Amino acid sequence: MVSSIARLVFLVVGALVTLANAATTFDLACTGGLLVLGVVVCAFTIRVCTREEKQLDELLLGGRLSVAYDALLIVVMPIIWYTSLGGAAKVSPAFLLRNEIIAVAMIPLVINTLAMRPLYPLVIAYVTVSCLVGYVIYGWGDPRLTWTNDNVEAVLGSGIKLGFFLWRIIAVLLAGHLLVRLAWWARHTIRDVVELEDATQSMMEKQAQAVHDAKMGALSNLVAGMAHELNTPVGALVSASDVASSSARKLRERLDRIFSGEEAAPARVADDRKLSRLVEGIVQTEQATRQAADRMKTVIDSLSGFARLDASERAPVDLAAQLEAAVAMVDARKRAGVELRLELEPLPPREVNVAAFNQVYLTLLENAFDALSGMGTLTLRSRRDSDGGDCIEIIDDGPGIASERLEQLFDLALAAKQGRVGMGLGLPTARRAVEQHGGKLSVDSTPGKGATFSIRLPAV
């Protein structure tokens, strides 16, 4: 990118100077054509470099086109100037050797060094030297081309001093090889920095994964203990409920026989109505007990399903139903005051790491409830895409996310929350978990209009 911009500036400035001093229409037309060609090459290279998803083959093509254009410029421009002045019929070949080709060549040498590809400045150096040698061969038999040892004649006259000529060749070669080493050194330095950043990122991701595994292990242990502790009283409640139900049924049957005359009434018949009300109380108690037991059983099943204590690491699940179950795992104080809309279409079972996906859901839901701060609407939506993939969306109408934060939202970084500073692992870990299943986690947000987190998984 930098080399392309520098080349474009050089072309524009050089063309303006050349066009202002153009001697003939031929000179003007050739210079304008070279300028247009150079702008096209620079525009192509800049467009390739500014794409979000860069293609290596296009980057290589842009670099090769650029160095080829620079070589063409060094070869053609002196010939254009020579021809526009009348060529060999009017101008001595010494013009080509005295031309400022060295000064022009040094600029493309530096520009191609900025591309950090060692071969490019070397190509420019040898093309320049080849041009100088070619000019000597071209004018060798021309009597107007004279060699001299007089410095004044070499500078102000028409003679060519061999020492100056050889020094030009040596200077170009030295500059070319020096810039090649510089480009090589810069390239390797940047590569080492990138490798170090990759290693650091990989280490941070492994740390994030270790923290995630520890959190899920602690959650599983907690759920296992709760399930174990709750199963005993739930069993007792169910048993007591069954006994109360059976007793109430038998008592009602006996009362029915007494009232119908099939059985003698007890000694104190006045207590029969009171006894009937007692039966009704027993029935109502049984119903309330049963409802409480069922609710406790549901909580236990949700906890067990969330942690997948009774399943293997990967299992086929309906991810839409799993998302609905994950809502119950969010702190009730966060959910208070938020309207929950469920637009969940059942999805075909998909084999996933259930614990990892539950952690993804829990992270996204907690972030959404935090953004709403006890007011607003949270919409959970699932659907089947036209290509057979699954799409799950978590949509809130909260304050949204600023555009400058969206690009770094999934990066590992330090974050302040509730007066503490810690590593923001939730969203990076969530994206990593989704990508490990071949999917993509993305976010779309407009400040003041909420945020939408989307999970897209490919067709099975």
Per-residue 3-state assignment (H helix, E strand, C coil) for the chain: CHHHHHHHHHHHHHHHHHHHCCCCHHHHHHHHHHHHHHHHHHHHHHHHHHCCCCCHHHHHHHHHHHHHHHHHHHHHHHHHHHHHCCHHHCCCCHHHHHCCHHHHHHHHHHHHHCCCCCHHHHHHHHHHHHHHHHHHHHHCCCCCCCECCCHHHHHHCCCECHHHHHHHHHHHHHHHHHHHHHHHHHHHHHHHHHHHHHHHHHHHHHHHHHHHHHHHHHHHHHHHHHHHHHHHHHHHHHHHHHHHHHHHHHHHHHHHHHHHCCCCCCCCHHHHHHHHHHHHHHHHHHHHHHHHHHHHHHHHHHHHHHHCCCCCCEEEECHHHHHHHHHCCCCHHHHCCCEEEEEECCCCCEEEEHHHHHHHHHHHHHHHHHHHCCCCEEEEEEEECCCCCEEEEEEECCCCCCHHHHCCCCCCCEEEECCEEEECCHHHHHHHHHHHCCCEEEEEECCCCCEEEEEEECCC
In contact, 425 and 435? CB cutoff 8 Å: no
Residues 460 and 441: their CA atoms lie apart, in Å, by: 17
Are both 128 and 34 inside the same structural domain?
yes
Written as six digits, the tokens of 4 are 């392309």
Cα four-point dihedral sign 249, 253, 259, 263: negative
Question: What is residue 439's predicted lDDT score, i.e. its pLDDT?
Answer: 92
Residues 324 and 318: their CA atoms lie apart, in Å, by: 10
Asked, for residue 320, whether it belongs to a domain, the answer is: yes
Written as six digits, the tokens of 137 are 């061969």
Are both 113 and 230 inside the same structural domain?
no
Are both 56 and 151 inside the same structural domain?
yes
Question: What is residue 452's predicted lDDT score, i.e. its pLDDT?
Answer: 93
Residues 454 and 460: their CA atoms lie apart, in Å, by: 18
In angstroms, the Cα distances linking 382 to 389, 390, 391 are: 11, 7, 6
Strand partners, 442: 454
Last residue of a domain, one of 240, 272, 307: 307
Residues 31 and 38: their CA atoms lie apart, in Å, by: 11
- Domains contained in the chain, number: 3
Written as six digits, the tokens of 227 are 């399930």
The domain that holds 377 is classified in CATH as: 3.30.565.10
Are both 453 and 328 inside the same structural domain?
yes
In angstroms, the Cα distances linking 147 to 155, 161, 371 are: 12, 6, 83
Number of C-beta neighbours around residue 383 at 10 A: 15
Q: What is the β-pairing status of strands 377-384 and 339-344?
A: parallel
Are both 37 and 114 inside the same structural domain?
yes
Question: What is residue 214's predicted lDDT score, i.e. its pLDDT?
Answer: 65
Are both 28 and 130 inside the same structural domain?
yes
Written as six digits, the tokens of 66 are 């650029």
Asked, for residue 186, whether it belongs to a domain, the answer is: no
Asked, for residue 141, whether it belongs to a domain, the answer is: yes
Number of C-beta neighbours around residue 231 at 10 A: 13
Question: What is residue 454's predicted lDDT score, i.e. its pLDDT?
Answer: 93
Are both 338 and 396 inside the same structural domain?
yes
Number of C-beta neighbours around residue 384 at 10 A: 14
Question: What is residue 421's predicted lDDT score, i.e. its pLDDT?
Answer: 35
Question: What is residue 309's predicted lDDT score, i.e. its pLDDT?
Answer: 42
Asked, for residue 100, whether it belongs to a domain, the answer is: yes
Q: Where do we find the tokens 């039966």? A: 279
Q: Where do we find the tokens 């050194």? A: 185
Written as six digits, the tokens of 163 are 């020492």
Q: What is the β-pairing status of strands 451-457 and 339-344?
A: unpaired
Provide block-wise average pLDDT over 10 residues at a time, the chain (460 residues): 83 78 76 86 85 77 86 84 77 73 80 81 86 82 74 64 78 85 85 84 77 65 63 71 74 74 58 63 72 70 55 76 84 85 91 85 90 91 89 92 79 48 63 89 89 91
Asked, for residue 275, whether it belongs to a domain, the answer is: yes
Are both 397 and 347 inside the same structural domain?
yes
Question: What is residue 219's predicted lDDT score, i.e. its pLDDT?
Answer: 63
Residues 157 and 135: their CA atoms lie apart, in Å, by: 18
Asked, for residue 183, whether it belongs to a domain, the answer is: no
Residue 356 structural domain: 316-457
Asked, for residue 189, whether it belongs to a domain, the answer is: no
Written as six digits, the tokens of 104 are 């022009």
Last residue of a domain, one of 307, 339, 357: 307
Residues 434 and 453: their CA atoms lie apart, in Å, by: 12
Question: What is residue 413's predicted lDDT score, i.e. its pLDDT?
Answer: 53
Last residue of a domain, one of 135, 160, 185: 160
In contact, 429 and 212? CB cutoff 8 Å: yes
Are both 276 and 340 inside the same structural domain?
no
